[in-house]
Chains A and B, each alone.
Chain A
């Protein structure tokens, strides 16, 4: 009994507690991200955005959630009901699964996987299933077209994302996310890998189906793409999944290129007393700030750029990004070997 308690029950409860400590802040961030998106785009378009519910519109996300909960659930005729409801669950679950390996501060993670970056890559490559299943099960042409576009788009951009990840992990010499962040001490990878940082961010936009690559749900041509037939909570799960995916991808960019939880005092030594003060700020604050910056760029891009055409999207992925990231990988490997900096 004692062995059961100490060997299984307490570790189990500890893991559940850690998961809650991740999931609740992520869900709250997602809620306020929707508000921030509408407010920021409003400001960029010289309007106010939602500002009525609560102070500065802060309660707007909760009002939206309540509204969605009381809507009617519609199942289209001729659809496949099990797959139809499985699809939003898959999207939502996958967006949360990624948080299992992301270190938000030194030693703050759920699991310190040795193959953490591969795990993240695997989870992000599964994201296409939720969309394809939704498109097929909806028994609707708009939804199906959206799903087909999405499948082609996500498979294309994954390849260059993979190459960029390999360049980074060659430089760091580990697949472990904690070790990748530690390897960036003094030199965050967005400086030596600057072209890949930009390329990676653009690929991430395509991978999360965000503007200007939001072809799967292009509302002016496909109504709402794969989400056309969804309503109420099944729609809400897609919505949650999509926004949490944005946060996950921002966390990935932060971890791979922006030095994770390391503060600016790490990059700029010689500031004297200011460095000491900055050193007191906990790592998670820097991590959150960097994520917030990435999310702001997500929204900024949405307010600025028009949507890509489908053939342009494919051309960019296969004919521009794939060769560039491949060449950069070879250059990185060559440089590391000849300068003797290859991690043993």
Chain B
């Protein structure tokens, strides 16, 4: 048990350190790398909870795909740190105001927080390792109990995907592209012409 709690404190501490570094690093690429570090620690915390499936999916989706795109974009951007510093004082009041509002909201929420009496029982149920593995438990919830809601969520994502494609697709004239079907269907008859050239005349 001691090892488990030590691991919990280690990973939580590392997650907090990583999250702080995300906002305090001057170099945006370093920020993204710290963000990845934070994701890893969050995944480790899920493993400690016994939610191994969620932990792996967190690494696959967030670290393996989303953060790669982040890194990709941030590397391409030419971010001038001095320009950002110049606006610091100008935006300070607005930023401080938003910060205070968020702090008050959090205080209100956590001040009146009470645990539901059956919360402990509910927490144990879905991933009881004696009866079901993680994967089966999640599968039952998503595909059996809430199949329609799950499908609806999928439709929302599909709409978002189509929207993104429609917004970015444009046909530019004059772009030459390789059409493999045309290349394969080409025949010697259509492309090669045999000519008998008389000497001294050439092709007209």
Contact = CB atoms under 8 A, between A and B. Distances in A.
Contacts of A114: 52, 133-135
Contact of B68 (A128, A144, A175): A128
Given A8-B3, A114-B133, A115-B135, A125 B60 contact: yes
Given A115-B53, A119-B56, A122-B64, A175 B33 contact: no
Interface in A131-185: 132-133, 136, 144, 148, 151, 155, 158, 175
A132 B134 contact: no
Interface string A88-132: 000000000000000000000000011100110110011011001
Question: Most chain-A CB neighbours within 10 Å: which of B30, B60, B65, B133?
Answer: B60
A61 to B, nearest CB: 32
A132 B68 CA distance: 9
A118 B65 contact: no
B128 interface: no
Given A115-B52, A136-B29, A175-B135, A122 B3 contact: no
Question: Most chain-A CB neighbours within 10 Å: which of B52, B53, B178?
Answer: B52
Contacts of A311: 178
A154 to B, nearest CB: 8
B63 interface: yes
B71 A132 contact: yes
Contact of B60 (A83, A118, A133): A118
A224 to B, nearest CB: 20
A126 B27 CA distance: 22
A80 interface: yes
Main secondary structure of the interface of B (DSSP, over half): helix
Contacts of A80: 27, 29-30
Contacts of B178: 311-312
A155 B65 contact: yes
Nearest to B63: A126
A128 B64 CA distance: 8
Given A115-B135, A122-B60, A155 B3 contact: no
A159 to B, nearest CB: 9
A203 to B, nearest CB: 15
Contacts of A115: 52-53, 56, 134-135
Contact of A133 (B33, B56, B57, B72): B33
A118 B33 contact: no
A144 B56 CA distance: 29
B75 interface: yes
Given A114-B134, A115-B135, A129 B60 contact: no
Contacts of A118: 53, 56-57, 60
B51 to A, nearest CB: 10
A175 B36 CA distance: 25
B22 interface: no
Contacts of B33: 83, 133
A302 to B, nearest CB: 24
Interface in A275-320: 311-312
A119 B69 CA distance: 21
Contacts of A144: 75
A325 to B, nearest CB: 17
Given A119-B56, A126-B63, 15 more contacts: A83-B30, A83-B33, A114-B133, A115-B56, A118-B56, A122-B56, A122-B63, A125-B59, A125-B64, A132-B68, A132-B71, A136-B29, A144-B75, A151-B68, A151-B72
24 contacts: A8-B3, A80-B29, A80-B30, A83-B33, A113-B52, A114-B135, A115-B52, A115-B53, A115-B134, A118-B60, A119-B56, A121-B56, A122-B59, A122-B64, A125-B59, A125-B64, A126-B63, A128-B64, A129-B36, A129-B71, A136-B75, A155-B69, A158-B64, A312-B178
Interface of A: 8, 80, 83, 113-115, 118-119, 121-122, 125-126, 128-129, 132-133, 136, 144, 148, 151, 155, 158, 175, 311-312
